[in-house]
């Protein structure tokens, strides 16, 4: 037979778990997290592979790292692809995309580091000799708004 303190501890953990689940469900549907952004990517060079879109909330690691990002991968079926990020809090963001033509989940480059696959960023700043910067690519997402972006790829 369990002691009353063990039963109370177990019940306390169960109620805490239920409360945490309820609060996380609230956060997903709260007005603070009701904005969305969609990136229409293209034109694509071909209809092979997938398009990877990464949403950054700060300039840390932009556009090279995947750490701390939300990622969407969309199978290519035509000349364009669309990535959507929903239930976002208002704030400043940037999106980096690449056309993963061989679907190996890597951004392929040659031995000199020159990209072999298409890439782009929000605000369409893709200078040839370097990667786009956070300052060039950032945008503001307002509360309870849906933002539609068009991102052109550089091959």
Same domain? For 26 and 49 the reply is no
- How many domains are there within the chain? 2
> For the whole prediction, is pTM greater than 0.75?
yes
pLDDT interval class at 22 (50, 70, 90): very low
DSSP letter assigned to residue 49: S
Instruction: In whole angstroms, give the CA distance from residue 129 to residue 131.
Output: 7
Residues 112-137 have pLDDT tens digits of: 999 999 999 999 999 888 899 999 99
Do 99 and 145 share a domain, yes or no?
yes
Strand partners, 119: 98, 154
The pLDDT value recorded for residue 129 is 83
Same domain, 3 and 65: no
Q: Are residues 7 and 65 in the same domain?
A: no
**CATH, residue 121:** 2.60.40
Average pLDDT over residues 11-27: 32
Report the relative pairing of strands 91-100 and 50-56 from DSSP bridges: antiparallel
Same domain, yes or no, for 73 and 23? no
In terms of residue numbers, what domain contains 47? 34-151
Does 135 share its domain with 91? yes
**DSSP H helical ranges for 2-155:** 4-29, 134-137
91/47 Cα distance (integer angstroms): 33
């Amino acid at each position: 037979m369990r002691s009353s303190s063990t039963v109370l501890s177990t019940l306390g953990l169960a109620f805490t778990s239920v409360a945490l689940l309820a609060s996380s469900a609230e956060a997903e549907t709260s007005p603070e997290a009701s904005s969305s952004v969609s990136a229409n990517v293209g034109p694509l060079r071909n209809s092979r592979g997938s398009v990877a879109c990464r949403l950054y909330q700060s300039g840390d690691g932009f556009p090279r790292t995947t750490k701390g990002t939300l990622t969407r991968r969309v199978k290519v079926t035509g000349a364009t692809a669309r990535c959507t990020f929903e239930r976002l809090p208002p704030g400043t963001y940037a999106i980096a995309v690449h056309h993963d033509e061989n679907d190996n989940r890597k951004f392929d480059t040659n031995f000199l580091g020159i990209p072999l696959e298409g890439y782009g960023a929000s605000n369409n700043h893709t200078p040839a000799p370097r990667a786009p910067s956070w300052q060039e690519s950032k945008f503001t997402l307002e509360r309870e708004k849906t933002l539609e972006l068009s991102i052109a790829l550089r091959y």
